Structure 1
Amino acid sequence: MSNKKLAYHSFRLAMGISILIHGAVRIPKLTQVADGISAEFADTLLQGTPSLIAGYFIPLAELLVGIGILIGWKVIRYALAAGIALMGILMIGTCLIENWAALPSQIIHAIAFYLLLMSSLTWQPRQKDY
């Protein structure tokens, strides 16, 4: 295996595990996580039901994105695109509650997902020549 492939697969594995575990550890305590997120957003535009729904959605989305990245193959490009979108959603929330310390981590994850998605080693469908 070339260094390029080894680096790609190692990085993909690390990013998949990172986002998978971040969601997985929250699943057993999903109600508490959702309630906590809802409480954090009590004084924002997303107070109440929207933040409660997000509190249930985000850990599940993190778990599924991580699984998709680890599976690879044809699933990976959609998982990486979903990961970028998820980071965008998280950044909106982070900015609304002014938790500036969390923002760099989300930006780094979005960039990492982007780099993996743009890699020539990530599966992509054949382009039809017309």
Structure 2
Amino acid sequence: MIQNSITFVLLRLAVGMSMFGHGLVRVPKLAVFSNWMVEKFDKSFLPNALVVPFSYVLPVLELAIGVLLLIGLFTRQALITGAIAMILLIFGSSMVEDWGAIPSQLIHTFLFAVLLSYTNYNSYAADNLLKKQD
């Protein structure tokens, strides 16, 4: 049981750090990131009315998911939200034929799903402090 809990927390921290890092470097330059994303999707059929809001929400979402996973708070919800974000990114990458980005997005999706399947091993997490207050 302890070995599985250690494995879970290490994997949760790794995925959390990846998401945290993505968000941390993008949030301070939201407009630059948004402009880059809009340019990237310029030739796709996705309208700017979808791309622009998504480009502003994504870095904040990545940062929030990362923080939640790093501290182990609302872990289940963060994992589900992270997987949905990755599915949206896979769709976007497909629309601009950025096939090189998809393997990383698939790996993240896979890790979110694996972690979600084993949340019963989430022993080292702030979530457990909330359970004790019930």
Q: Distance in 2 between matches of 1:59 and 1:16?
A: 14
Q: Distance in 1 between matches of 2:62 and 2:87?
A: 13
Name 2:132's counterpart in structure 1: none
- Partner amino acid, structure 1, of 2:47: Q
Secondary structure, in 3 states, of the residue corresponding to 2:121? coil
Shift in Å, 1:28 = 0.9
Q: Distance in 2 between matches of 1:10 and 1:84?
A: 18
Count residues with an aligned counterpart: 124
Name 2:113's counterpart in structure 1: 114
Q: Distance in 2 between matches of 1:31 and 1:47?
A: 18
- Partner amino acid, structure 2, of 1:87: M
Secondary structure, in 3 states, of the residue corresponding to 1:99? coil
Name 1:50's counterpart in structure 2: 50
Shift in Å, 1:2 = 2.4
User: How well do the aligned residues superpose, as a CA RMSD in angstroms?
Assistant: 1.9
1:79 paired to 2:78? yes
1:62-101 matches, within 5 Å, as 62-73=62-73, 75-101=74-100
Shift in Å, 1:57 = 1.0
Deviations 1:27-61 (A, max 9, x none): 11110000110011111121322111111111111
Q: Distance in 2 between matches of 1:58 and 1:44?
A: 19
- Partner amino acid, structure 2, of 1:10: L
Deviations 1:66-91 (A, max 9, x none): 11212214x00000000000001101
- Partner amino acid, structure 2, of 1:14: A
Secondary structure, in 3 states, of the residue corresponding to 1:26? helix
The two structures have a TM-score, normalised by structure 2, of 0.86
The two structures have a TM-score, normalised by structure 1, of 0.88
After the TM superposition, which of the residue ranges 44-53 and 83-92 deviates more from structure 2?
A: 44-53
